Homo-oligomer: A and B are copies of this chain.
Amino acid sequence: MKNFNYKNPTEIIFGEGRIKEVGERLKPHAKKVLLTYGRESIKKNGVYDTVVESLRANGIEFVEFSGIRPNPYLSHAKLGADLARKEGVDAVLAVGGGSVLDESKAIALGACYDCDLWDFFSGKASPQKSLKVFTILTVPATGSEMNGGMVLTNEDTLDKFGFASPFTYPVFSILDPSVTLSLPVSYVACAAVDIFTHATEAYFVKEDTASFVIDRAVEGVLKSLIESTDKILQNPQDIDARANFMWTATLAWNGSLHCGVGIYGVPNHVIEHPISAIYDIAHGAGLAIVLPAWMKVFEEKYRSRFAFLARNVFGVDEIDDHKAAQKGRESLIKWFKTLGAPVSFAEAGIFDVDVEKLSSLAMGVMGSKGVALMTQDEIKKVLEVAIK
């Protein structure tokens, strides 16, 4: 195992009926918050009313900032930061899925600085403070509810970069699985692919393969993910499956699966980011296109790790690493197909794949993360395999 530091100060408040606690729990932290959300969904499912009622009952002022879209834009986050500054809020309360949480973290940072918010994403500047962030999660997938990370797209350059800060861990996050009962299975499918990739990126490519305590933890998360997703597809009203799915998503990207693994990259995220930035598809759909192709191109390099996945998660009974790795990839593709996730650009209805441009943007994403795992030629190969 490699040396590591681990600290995750976010408090999780998990369970049915917990959203109404938000006002009381915010009280010691904030008098006035920026209430951020997307479009209509939190008004349809009653979450908006519960939040507003709880804030009013506890005398917490709020200013609304809505319209946060999937694959959120830098320009919109800047508007939010301007509003937060103008209104003098103490904190940001984000209500929604990963995109809302991510943009809200950027707003919380931006409200404290006059510099270009993108400087943090491009590595030109490093923030030393942030408004406090609180979240109510309604779409489990990205893990943003229990980490300091965020992803934004700069629409001028189409760069979709991730950035993480110790200052943007939510102080608390409320996770009520009952609000996810109304999420359609198509959302769940994309989320499942995202979660799968969060848990496997380091598992496949990590510097240290002797950290088997982490391997066993990753495999547990993957098994729980497959089990809960399959149950939701069979019965979308299965609240226990929804709850297990929701907590699995948090565990996959809260840092606990990365303790002691040393240096690791996120190659599939690197290749995917430009895809969802350009074609505006769900991040999970983009990952379903990329991952099987990436596994094919890198089969030789990471063979033994793919064989681990095959044996320990998909139950492949095969001693030979090469055969096990192949069967593992086949099992993964089969599972993605049962979810209805596209496993190629063609299946996603994308026929104008600009390999040159996508690979060039992916190199930019990889550069921003600082772990050079692939050449541009290798990225092109992955994209070409993914075409159909």
Contact = CB atoms under 8 A, between A and B. Distances in A.
Contact of A243 (B6, B221, B260): B260
A128 interface: no
B18 A7 contact: no
Given A9-B7, A211-B244, A259 B228 contact: no
Copies held by the complex: 2
B9 A213 contact: no
A187 interface: no
Given A212-B244, A244-B212, A5 B12 contact: yes
A163 interface: no
A280 B140 CA distance: 49
A246 to B, nearest CB: 9
Contacts of A256: 256
Contacts of A3: 14-18
Contacts of A12: 4-7, 259
Nearest to A217: B220
Contacts of A14: 1, 3-6, 259-260
Nearest to A209: B240
Nearest to A242: B1
Interface in A229-248: 240, 243-244, 247-248
A221 B216 CA distance: 7
A217 B216 CA distance: 8
A321 interface: no
Nearest to A12: B6
A30 B9 CA distance: 21
Contacts of A17: 3
A24 interface: no
Contacts of A9: 7, 9
Nearest to A171: B7
A177 B2 CA distance: 11
Nearest to A227: B212
A224 interface: yes
Contacts of A205: none
A13 interface: yes
A11 interface: yes
Given A3-B14, A5-B13, A6-B11, A213 B240 contact: no
Given A212-B224, A212-B244, A244-B211, A15 B4 contact: yes
A10 interface: yes
A8 to B, nearest CB: 7
Interface centre among A12, A212, A219, A248 (most CB of B within 10 A): A212
A251 interface: yes
Interface in A1-48: 1-18
A7 B259 CA distance: 18
Contacts of A247: 1, 213, 259-260
A210 interface: yes
A76 interface: no
Interface string A242-278: 0110011001000010011000000000000000000
